[in-house]
Amino acid sequence: MIGTSPQAHKCRCTPNENWWKNGIIYQVYPRSFKDSNNDGNGDLAGVIDKLPYLKSTGVDCVWLSPIMKSPQVDAGYDISDYYAIDKMYGNMNDFKELIGKAHELGLKIMLDFVPNHTSDQHRWFKESEKGNAKFKDFYVWRNAKKKGSPPNNWLSVFGGSAWQWSKKRKQFYLHQFAKEQPDLNFRNPAVRDEMKKVLVYYLDLGVDAFRIDAVKFLFEDEQFRDEPRSSDPNATPASHAYLDHIYTNNLPETFALLSEWRQLVDEYSETQGGPSRILVSEVYDDLYNTLQYYGTPERIGVHFTFNFFFITNLKQDISRAHDIARIVYTWQNALPAGKVTNWVIGNHDNHRVPTRLGAKNIDGFNMLLLLLPGVAVTYNGEEFGQDDGDVPFEQGKDPAAKDRATFNLLSRDFERTPMQWDDSTNAGFNEGAKPWLPVSQNYKELNLASQLNEKKLSHYQIYRRLARLRRDEPVRNGTTDVWAVSDDVIILKRSAGGRHIILAFKLGWNGNDEKEEVYIPSMCEKEAIVLLKSVGSSYKIGSIINPQNFLLNPHESIVLEIMTT
């Protein structure tokens, strides 16, 4: 039995074990979402204010990027107190209010849980650095090699050695991200206990889901062996890609720890009798290693692990329609039996979808995302086509991009600029105080308010209609087929009980700028109804076309319905 506090949260929504299985998870980047007190930073009151908007958009779960107390060296992924909300965002009462209001609306809340590392300002680290017996082994400390060099060749994800010398303790500590983010030592049972306590604390508050950050880094080789050179010929010696991370990533102990957390959460859900709480892992890796996180018949894993392959394996004007088809079917075929699939198309670590895959393709990609089976993950702003903002080097905040020379290549600030709500001051993000990152210059034309009119088809209205269509049987539970009918046209078909919902999308990549004749494979029906179309398409919603032969322009996408019974 897991202990819960006496004020354990009772969810007032209808228990629905399966709430997440076809859900839309919407990622809110709190610092850039809505600044209610006009201090330049978004906050929880701002999120609360926008909950009805999220409900009416049709999302199911709101994922909040880190909101706990933090010096913000890595945008909150450097936590200095797991039990406090960062002042910039509000306080614990605001968070409780947010959960309560979300639940009243039938929305779930997913919290970013960052267990691999803390901030170097966390009390545990300060005590550990001083050598306080209780905390001495909370982090990964090693002696210097002869001549004072680091214990081994391990590299930080942000570049350079993963070891930092502490003058105080006269030892090196491990940091697989910034030096201000020391890695916790999960071989210490006391650390494992502390992290379980954190999980239970937030379960008690009513948090429905946890996105577990940087999971694959949780354990390292006990012998601290050097890692071998990777097979990437272009990697420079200081870059993380230079080594093959066989001693720092995906260790068996990591999977065992995740099983423990999963058991804890499952047991919690059972004793509470409410809807199930879920764990989602964040792992960028190859297909095999990524899928390991779903678990095996012998070992329970997380509910699902993010599928980042639309992000990592698609490149505008290099990829072809075949690459999209391959991503879908290799993932679907490799997914362990009985597991819930998922698709992530954008997040705070990657250029926004319009910037990455083409501004004119936003509807096509939202259609693909929302018509695929399982869970869909949308990054805030991408429901209406917000693209990357401009951030000059001088205003950059990302610890992954400290050098002017590599800023444009590495910075994640561009995808983190404030949400473009409307065409007023600072895009409606706040009342005029200087935002922590500059508002994108294009906000007068590209903002949500200009797309709210339900009678006018816009990126946002398309997104809303898709969110509704997802609840229909073929998209919820139907079979999935995907084809590239040419280099540039992708078809997705979802079918159930003789009803087929079909996406046809011409990417317009690789200089494919001519109209193209398209057909839907493996269907002989001569009539299809146009249910939805991309902005600018000349098809008429509700009209009938011949699915054996129709034309698509570059960047055009349509959703068809065909009945075969």
Q: Which residues are catalytic?
A: 213, 282
CA-based nearest residue to 505, from 395, 376, 366: 366
Q: In the complex with ligand NOJ, which residue's Cβ is closer, 180 or 488?
A: 180
Radius of gyration of the chain from its Cα atoms, rounded to whole angstroms: 24
List Cβ neighbours of 24 (8 Å cut-off, separation of 6 or more). Answer: 58, 59, 60, 61, 370, 375, 376, 377, 378, 467, 470
Binding pattern for the stretch 359-398 against ligand NOJ, x by CB under 6 A and - elsewhere: ----------------------------------------
Contact 350, 340 (CB under 8 A): no
Q: Of 19, 29, 33, 77, which lies in the binding site for ligand NOJ, with binding defined by CB under 6 A?
A: 77
Near ligand NOJ by CB under 6 A: residue from 129, 213, 388, 516: 213
Q: Give 269 or 342: the residue with its C-beta nearer to ligand NOJ.
A: 342
In the complex, what is the shortest distance from the CB of residue 181 to ligand NOJ, in angstroms, rounded to a whole number? 7
Q: What are phi and psi of 99, to 5 degrees?
A: -60, -45
State the nearest-atom distance from the C-beta of 487 to ligand NOJ, in Å.
33
Residue with smaller CB distance to ligand NOJ, 29 or 294: 29
Give least dist CB 217 to ligand NOJ, A.
Answer: 8
Q: Does residue 74 interact with ligand NOJ by CB under 6 A?
A: yes
Smallest distance from ligand NOJ to CB 398, Å: 8
73 binds ligand NOJ (CB under 6 A): no
CA distances from 504 to 238, 534, 555, 556 (A): 44, 11, 10, 8
Instruction: Work out which of 285, 349, 422, 487 binds ligand NOJ, going by CB under 6 A.
Output: 349
**Residues in contact with ligand NOJ, shown as a per-residue x/- string from 264 to 293 under the rule CB under 6 A:** ------------------x-----------
Q: Is 29 in the site for ligand NOJ (CB under 6 A)?
A: no
Question: Of 214, 264, 265, 302, which lies in the binding site for ligand NOJ, with binding defined by CB under 6 A?
Answer: 214
- C-alpha 333: how far from its chain's center? 22
Supply the minimum distance, in Å, between the C-beta of residue 430 and ligand NOJ. Answer: 23
CA pair distance 124, 422, nearest whole angstrom: 43
Secondary structure letter of residue 174 according to DSSP? E
Distance CA 101, CA 48 (A): 7
Nearer to ligand NOJ, 29 or 505 (CB): 29
**Nearer Cβ to ligand NOJ, position 62 or 490?**
62
Beta-strand pair 171-174/141-142: antiparallel
149 CB-near residues (< 8 Å, 6+ apart): none
**What whole-number distance in Å separates Cα of residue 131 and Cα of residue 137?**
9
Residue with tokens 């002696």, as numbered in its chain: 143
Per-residue HEC secondary structure of 381-395 comes to: CCCCCCCCCCCCHHH
Identify the residue whose tokens are 């303790």: 169
3-state secondary structure 43-107: CHHHHHHHHHHHHHHCCCEEEECCCEECCCCCCCCCCCEEEEECCCCCCHHHHHHHHHHHHHCCC
State both tokens at 395.
């205003």
| CA distances (Å), origin 266, targets 182, 257, 336, 344 | 30, 14, 19, 24
Number of residues that bind ligand NOJ (CB under 6 A): 9
Give the nearest distance from C-beta 420 to ligand NOJ in angstroms: 21
3-state SS string over 451-474? HCCCCCCCHHHHHHHHHHHCCCHH
- Helix (H), strand (E) at residue 540: none
Residues 466-525 within binding reach of ligand NOJ (CB under 6 A) = none
To ligand NOJ, the closest distance from the beta carbon of 57 in angstroms equals: 23
CB of 74 to ligand NOJ, least distance (A): 5
Shortest CB 377 distance to ligand NOJ, Å: 12
Q: In the complex with ligand NOJ, which residue's Cβ is closer, 347 or 451?
A: 347
Of 170-189, which residues contact ligand NOJ (CB under 6 A)?
Answer: 177
Residue nearest to ligand NOJ as judged by C-beta position: 77
67 binds ligand NOJ, rule: CB under 6 A? no
- Residue 5 Cα distances to 97, 99, 200, 204, angstroms: 18, 17, 9, 7
Whole-angstrom distance, CA of residue 543 vs CA of residue 38: 48
Interface positions with ligand NOJ (CB under 6 A) = 74, 77, 114, 177, 213-214, 282, 348-349
